[in-house]
């Protein structure tokens, strides 16, 4: 796709990201493409919601992020608002979301601009709530000490129908997860968890996580949840340190909503979206989390090796007992020949070094 306007999200704490940003700005100038830095803030200044940030940047059709997966998430919350594509540029670490190294950013931009890239869609989540989310005074500074200003609570979307009993539609796009967690260290959050309107169980836990397949390798994984292929659509519910026998993850279909209701005698609960505090729930409040109709478009310059990244990211090692039985090849296919007709519908990558 020819790029008409570009948005730039930079990890300001990394000199290589700041330096690469200059390369991107120069490329945009040479190609007469508008380039705006987005999600930029100073201490004691408020950040914008995703939709406001998008309009401030002039509705870019490509968002370039310079940093790790955290920086990518900052760009994703903005890009998904108008179906913009996201190109993640990494800083030398193996990430699940970033696509190219800093040294290759100009070649990547040329590929996008001249139609040499493909686009991979990732499922996202959105929300409804019983009332607008708010962050009480004092809590933000306590929970975000040393992390700069927080994002504002998500605004209410215009399609909300007042008095319909379905709550308020919030302007939320979560690529990884929505988390409801306790605020007081000595008081767990108590939640009624509903899948497709049916009570699954009431949980007393440190937190509960509702994640996408993309987010299955983040907080949900750390809490014992499964790893899902990012090519699938599903909603992953994982409790964190629940005080109950049933502590397993539940994987729901993408069209099955999950509702979380704070029980009457529970403590307050924080709501985080992709790791960012966005509101606090009181006893009796509820949120509904469900698959969004706005997927995120990721720029891909070559087939994604998710399982190779999985092995590298988590430093997977082979079982010691297999050492005497022979070494596993890093890549394996039965033959370097055309895929048989009955297998051509499967996602089978070409052999290494083969661009077919």
State how far the Cα of 26 lies from the Cα of 46, in Å rounded to an integer. Answer: 29
Distance CA 218, CA 216 (A): 6
In order of 68, 292, 317, 320, 331, the CA distances from 324 in angstroms are 38, 49, 15, 8, 20
The sheet that has 125-129: what strands, in order across it? Answer: 168-174, 125-129, 286-291, 258-262, 189-195, 198-205
User: Are 323 and 338 spatial neighbours (Cβ–Cβ below 8 Å)?
Assistant: no
SS3 273: strand
The answer to whether 302 touches 270, Cβ cutoff 8 Å, is no
Q: What is the spatial distance between Cα 269 and Cα 277, in angstroms, rounded to a whole number?
A: 11
- Integer Cα distance of 93 and 95 in angstroms: 6
Residue 94 is encoded by which pair of tokens?
Answer: 């193996």
Structure tokens at 355: 């661009």
Cβ burial of 281 (10 Å; 0-12, 13-18, 19+) is buried
**How wide is the angle at C-alpha 86 spanned by C-alphas 28 and 356, nearest 5°?**
95
> Is 69 assigned a catalytic role?
yes
How many Å apart are CA 280 and CA 334, to the nearest integer? 54
Compute the C-alpha angle 296/209/220, nearest 5°. 80
Of the candidates 69, 90, 171, 285, the residue annotated as catalytic is: 69
Residues with catalytic function: 69
């Amino acid at each position: 796709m020819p790029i008409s306007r570009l948005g730039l999200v930079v990890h300001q704490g990394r000199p290589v990201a700041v330096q690469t940003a200059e390369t991107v700005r120069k490329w945009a100038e040479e190609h007469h493409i508008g380039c705006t830095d987005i999600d930029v803030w100073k201490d004691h200044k408020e950040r914008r919601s995703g939709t406001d940030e998008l309009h401030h940047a002039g509705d870019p059709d490509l968002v370039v992020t310079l940093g790790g997966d955290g920086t990518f998430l900052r760009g994703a919350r903005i890009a998904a608002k108008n179906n913009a594509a996201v190109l993640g540029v990494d800083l030398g670490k193996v990430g699940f979301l970033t696509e190219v190294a800093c040294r290759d950013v100009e070649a990547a931009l040329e590929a996008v601009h001249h139609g040499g890239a493909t686009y991979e869609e990732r499922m996202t989540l959105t929300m409804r709530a019983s009332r607008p989310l708010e962050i009480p005074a004092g809590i933000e500074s306590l929970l975000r000490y040393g992390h700069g200003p927080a994002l504002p609570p998500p605004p209410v979307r215009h399609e909300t129908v007042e008095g319909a009993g379905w709550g308020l539609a919030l302007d939320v796009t979560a690529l990884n997860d929505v988390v409801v967690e306790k605020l007081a260290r000595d008081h767990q959050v108590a939640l009624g968890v509903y899948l497709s309107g049916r009570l699954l169980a009431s949980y007393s836990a440190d937190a509960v996580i509702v994640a996408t397949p993309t987010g299955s390798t983040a907080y949900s994984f750390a809490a014992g949840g499964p790893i899902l292929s990012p090519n699938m659509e599903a909603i992953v519910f994982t409790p964190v340190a629940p005080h109950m026998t049933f502590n397993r993850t539940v994987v729901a279909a993408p069209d099955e909503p999950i509702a979380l209701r704070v029980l009457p005698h529970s403590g307050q609960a924080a709501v985080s979206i992709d790791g960012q505090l966005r509101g606090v729930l009181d006893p009796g409040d509820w949120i509904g989390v469900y698959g969004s109709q706005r997927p995120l478009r990721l720029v891909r310059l070559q087939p994604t090796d998710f399982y190779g990244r999985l092995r590298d990211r988590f430093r997977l090692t082979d079982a010691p007992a297999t050492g005497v039985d022979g070494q596993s090849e890093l890549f394996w296919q039965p033959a370097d020949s055309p895929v048989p007709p009955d297998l051509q519908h499967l996602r089978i990558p070409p052999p290494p070094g083969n661009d077919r």
